[in-house]
Structure 1
Amino acid sequence: MGFVLRERWGAQPLWARCVLAVYLIGFAEGTGSHIADLVRGGIHAYASFPEIPLQVFFVSLVILDPLAAVLVGLVRREGIWLASVVMLLDVSANWWGNRHWLRDDPAQLLWLLPITVFGVFVVAFAVPLHHTVAGAASRSPVALPSG
């Protein structure tokens, strides 16, 4: 497995390895953040969001964030798409759940800037990264499982 993993990473151009590394860092940070929230607040850690679906989604990120990180780390195309979907939902849920700050205190929204920038980064690189990963898998001399 280690050889195949080195082959997958090594088959990527430098820009793609850098993007994959940023994905990994971002999803590792997200995993840690959501675990910390659950340790502090338990299953009701996101009770400040009045919408139950948002609360459920944020709790589910304890599974989705590390899953995306593992699939990205394995240089799987599924990981790129999962990362994009998770970030689209995460950014949207955060902005929707905190929309009251637009009226009450817009400066409070600055704390959404890092997640928004990361989300835009993930989505912006999804298609070129997918093509690069798919192309590298088809050119690899080692028989890699498709994906």
Structure 2
Amino acid sequence: MMSAESAGERSRRGAVSLEFGLVVPLFVAIVSAIFVGGIRIYQTQQYAAMAKFLVRKAIVHGQNAEKLGPWGPTTITGAVGDGTPVGSLMAFKFNNNQPMAVYYRLTWPDGGNNGLLGHRVSVTVASWNLSGGATSTPSTSTGSGGGLLGYTSSVTMSIAH
């Protein structure tokens, strides 16, 4: 026959196994969620930084930009590192001059690019193609974060010159 002490130890070992089986997966899930959330926040901040950088470059490419040359007022779309002046500028700044699957769109909501008239430029940077082709996904967001898996960030500023 078993002693009372060994029966108590055996039942406690079962309780420890059960507690371990319930607590460890929960702990791993919480740590994973924190890790994934941190990556999401970092990527969202990177897209916001890209949009801010590009809009700062665009506001000095207005109609009166003599040395830099004007951009717009027609819409400019492309990808980072696509060989265009804007794409190359973004690749140089953010990806060591290498292309990547980040897309941009510059629009002039006031229909012109004259800083003296108060015209504005709007920049959208996203993780999907913004050119309006068959493969593009429409944006469901006006700020950072666009859906579950996509990223988008938009910034609008007045043209300086």
Which TM-score applies when normalising by structure 1? Answer: 0.30
Q: Point out the structure with max Rg over C-alpha.
A: 2
More strand, by proportion: 2
More helix, by proportion: 1
Which TM-score applies when normalising by structure 2? Answer: 0.28
Structure with more relative contact order (C-alpha pairs < 8 Å, separation 6 or more):
1
